[in-house]
Amino acid sequence: MYAVHHPLISNTSLYNSSPQSRGDFINRKTAAPRRFTLGSLRSEGAAVRRKWCGMWRSITLSALGRTSLPYYNYIRYLDLEGLQKVLGGDSRHVYPKSGIRNAEVDSEKFLNELRPNTLDSFEVLILSNLGPRTVRALSSHWNSLTELKLLSLGIEAIAELHLLTAPPALKVLTLQHSTVGVYEEAYSRSLNRVADWIRSFKALQRLELIRFMKDDALLLAKVLPEESLRLSSLSVEGCRTHDAILFHEILHHQSSLQYLYLEGHKIDQPEHNGSLVRSISQLNSLRELELEHISDGFTTDHLKTLTPCLPHLERLRISGEYFRDDALDAFLCLHRLQSLIIDGPNSFTTQGLLSFITQLGPGNRGFALSIFKSANGTDITEEAQKPIRELLESKLDGAFLFETDPEGN
């Protein structure tokens, strides 16, 4: 399945204002209060179902050429969630047989039938065997695309990417879960070409690599030093320790970053943890920082080195070797912090948390504190959590979430 965005009409979820899919829950705080009865709810539900049925009937008939207007050509966003709700218990999962055209053929045909340069966004949602034909078909919309999200590309498709010239409007690029083996002959050549390709994206703002080419750290080491590349958001999932030091040393080149998400295995080498801390410390514009598992080797000293360099930080998720009350002092310099998630072994105390909260300032209003994997021997019992939660609520209108280590450490 893939999702597309086309500028000629609004999201199909706007076809009806009732909450039929996740896209419809926008903002109901300003809506006038409504009174419901069981009968009115049933009546409204039936009306919504009729509207969805009518919409899908129009889409299906237009795709078959049986309507006066080609409605399917004007779809901006479409998924199958609404159709699934309409079918209800009558829906079935149908798996295509080998004789049916695969997604590669269908997506190529679909892209070529659209008017050139009218596509805003193209996103692959599931493993679908998209290959070089789809990549080549994207070239007809290369001047209009602002978002491109590709999943499960093979070596043949990746080899075609560099043939797509620098896109003038692309702001978001997501590459994930390629099917390339690191020992394939063309792997090294493809990695270098993909790096050159990404470096040419002058308008790129958000880059996401999710276990893309096995050596994503090496790929980024070739991409991030590009002076014309000014990212505001970088997400890397599946960071490997192999070649990680190269990635750490060049991360600071993207000083424009406001959001950074890194997920990977714990780094056992102390020097690698130090290089990562030093590099992140130079990203002084960061507003959100999420380190998942990759910071499992961080110490309190690492925290005290890192946090003073991030004055604009509003959201932080971090882990470490084992944090105690003294680690909390490292967060007091973050005067704009709104959310702190500590997702690593710790033995904070009730008094330590209360003292920390009392020292937070007005810039931390709305502060949400989440502590996971706390030692089972801590004195933060269910009863002790009440004054912590009450202090956060009264002082900062904040919230507190606490969980002990499920493994019993």
- Partnered with residue 234 across adjacent β-strands are 207, 260
How does 68-91 read in b/e, with b if 16+ C-beta sit within 10 Å? Answer: eeebbeebbbbbeebbeebeeeee
pLDDT digits (tens, 9 = 90+) for 264-304: 888 777 788 899 999 999 999 999 999 999 999 999 999 99
Q: How confident is the model over 156-172, as pLDDT tens digits?
A: 888 889 889 889 999 99
The overall average pLDDT reported for the chain is 81
- The pLDDT-based confidence of 314 (bands split at 50, 70, 90) is very high
Is there a contact between 395 and 363 (Cβ–Cβ < 8 Å)?
A: no
Question: What does the angle CA 294 – CA 300 – CA 303 come to, to the nearest 5 degrees?
Answer: 65
Task: Write out pLDDT tens, residues 41-63.
Answer: 455 566 667 777 777 788 788 77
Tell me: pLDDT of 334 over 90: yes
pLDDT above 90 covers a percentage of the chain that reads: 49
Helix (H) or strand (E) holding 39: helix 38-63
Residues 6+ apart with CB under 8 A from 389: 399, 400
Q: Looking at residue 32, what is its pLDDT?
A: 40
Q: Kindly tell me if the per-residue pLDDT of 259 is higher than 90.
A: yes
Helix and strand tally (H, E) in the chain?
Answer: 13, 12
pLDDT score recorded for residue 185? 62
pLDDT in tens, 214-234: 788 889 999 999 999 999 999
Among candidate residues 155, 97, 98, 107, the one with its CA nearest the CA of residue 128: 107
In this prediction, residue 74 carries a pLDDT of 63
pLDDT of res. 131 = 83
Token pair in block for residue 150: 């590709």
Q: Is 60 exceeded by the pLDDT of residue 339?
A: yes
| Residue range 97-117: mean pLDDT, rounded | 74
Full-model pTM: 0.76
Instruction: Return the pLDDT at 276.
Output: 92
Residue 365 has pLDDT above 90, yes or no: yes
